[in-house]
Amino acid sequence: MPSSDAGQLLLVGVPGPELDSETARLFRKIQPGGFILFGRNIQSPAQLRKLIDDLRGLSDVEPVITIDQEGGRVSRLKLIGNEPPNAQQLRDRDDIALIKKHGDITGRLLRVFGFNMDLCPVLDISFDDEADNSLRGRCYGRSVAEVVAKAGTFNEGLRATGILSCGKHFPGYSSAGLDPHHELPRLERSREEMEAEELAVFRAFAQSVDSMMIGHIAISGLDEVNRPASLSPAIIRDLLRKDLGFDGLVMTDDLDMGAILNHFGLDETMRLGIEAGNDFLMICHRIEMAAAAKSAIEPLGEKLVPALESVARCKSRLVQPTPFSIEAFQSVDSEIWDLRVATLGDEAAAKRSPEDGKRSPVEIY
């Protein structure tokens, strides 16, 4: 039986590298369904595992514990280890075996720390490798076939380790000219155009990813009301659930992004998110608002049941963490370096970008 606690529908961030007493009390009270970690939560291997163990310890129901560990700049764990190659670098190297290895290494690395879900693979098609929409370097292909083959190989390798996967960012925003971290992109694109490209990819993954993240983008051909996809019943309930037949976990992208924050109030966002068909509502940064978010959706009553059932089904597949040791981490971390060299070559692998080892003030996801 699924929990009836509305807190199970919240995926929340954590303020820092340790659980302070106030945050611990908040989480015990609202019982979030999951936690998402960022660079601000990562200082050392042992510290990270303790934080995750502490989060699990205060949860009455086993929580989803997730992170964005893609490769390249969206690799939170590069703060304490090596940086894996990104999707574009693997795409250009064009070696399926290396992509499969990347999925396997990523899954085993996450299990060392106690994560049970990774927020990837990115399923967006790269129409322009230099586009300024936060996807630079993160796409596995420039065509439907290439994304399906290469992102699919990563997804297979990741899931084989027991880590759940997440396809993002449905229904695709690689045509967007704006970054949703700052403002809502609005795209004039027909249903036919979407079906030929972006939706063709997501259809191919509808039965092979464990969850889908809904992007903050308004697409005229998919929702005549021009709502953000993340708050659109036409896109989530009708297109993703009914048409594509996806029956896994559905989550919003971060509801603290400018694309949503600039246009909707908290209570309205939470209500619209559930009514649109989301199972997890993601609050990454305004963690102090989590109790208010729970209060905003509790009055929806029976409308919460489908989401609660979906979260419970997802949690039935969660794996337990592997035993932690520094040696276990170092072993996997050395495999990441080897993968980096195999993908980029010795000279390129040794170069560190200016952002390596730093916590970015705006983390992309």
pLDDT in tens, 214-246: 998 889 999 988 889 999 999 999 999 999 999
Indicate whether 101 belongs to any domain. Answer: yes
Residue that wins the pLDDT comparison between 183 and 139: 139
Decide if 214 contacts 170 (C-beta within 8 A): yes
Question: What's the domain count of the chain?
Answer: 1
Structure tokens at 116: 């049970």
Q: Is the pLDDT reported for residue 190 higher than 90?
A: yes
Residue 359 resides in a domain: no
pLDDT tens track for 88-145:
999 999 999 999 999 999 999 999 999 999 999 999 999 999 887 778 999 999 999 9
Residue 253: count other Cβ atoms within 10 Å of its Cβ: 26
| C-alpha span between 143 and 122 (Å, rounded) | 13
What is the C-alpha to C-alpha distance for residues 222 and 226, in angstroms, rounded to an integer? 8
Residue 48, domain member (yes or no): yes
pLDDT per position as a tens digit, 317-349: 999 999 999 999 999 999 999 999 999 998 888
* Residue 1: count of CB within 10 angstroms of its CB: 6
User: Is this model's pTM higher than 0.85 or not?
Assistant: yes
Could you tell me the pLDDT band of residue 177, with boundaries at 50, 70 and 90? low
Is residue 306 one of the residues assigned to a domain?
Answer: yes
Structure tokens given for 107:
């899954």
Average pLDDT over residues 152-179: 89
Show the tokens assigned to 13.
């961030």
DSSP calls for 237-280: IIIIIIIS---SEEEES-TTSHHHHTT--HHHHHHHHHHHT-SB
Using CA atoms in the order 318, 323, 328, 333, what is the torsion angle rounded to 10 degrees? 30
Cα–Cα distance measured from residue 320 to residue 272, given in angstroms and rounded to the nearest whole number: 33
What is the average pLDDT across 4-13? 95
3-class secondary structure for 155-219? HHHHHCCCCECEEEEECCCCCCCCCCCCCCCEECCCHHHHHHCHHHHHHHHCCCCCEEEECCCEE
Q: Which amino acid appears at position 172 of this protein?
A: G
d(CA 105, CA 81): 13
How many CB atoms neighbour CB 45 within 10 A? 20
Per the domain annotation, does 363 fall within a domain? Answer: no
The continuous run of DSSP H or E covering 347 comes out as: helix 346-350
Contacts of 57 (CB under 8 A, 6+ apart): none
* DSSP category for residue 221: T
- Per-residue pLDDT, averaged over 267-273, amounts to 93
Rounded Cα gap, residues 23 and 3, in angstroms: 22
Q: Which of 213, 208, 207, 181 is nearest to 279 (CA)?
A: 213
Contact, 355 vs 75, CB < 8 A? no
Host domain of residue 264: 9-342
Most confident of 40-54, 172-186, 208-222, 259-273: 40-54
Question: For residue 51, what is the domain's CATH number?
Answer: 3.20.20.300
Instruction: Please count the other Cβ atoms lying within 10 Å of the Cβ belonging to residue 53.
Output: 14
Q: Please indicate, yes or no, if residue 68 is contained in any of the structural domains.
A: yes
Quick check: is 185 in a domain? yes
Report the pLDDT value the prediction gives residue 217, as an integer from 0 to 100: 87
Q: Is residue 360 part of a domain?
A: no
Q: In this predicted model, which residue has the larger pLDDT, 17 or 134? A: 17
Q: Take residue 18 and report the two structure tokens written for it.
A: 């340790």
Quickly count: other Cβ atoms within 10 Å of residue 347's Cβ. 8
The per-residue pLDDT for 218 is 87
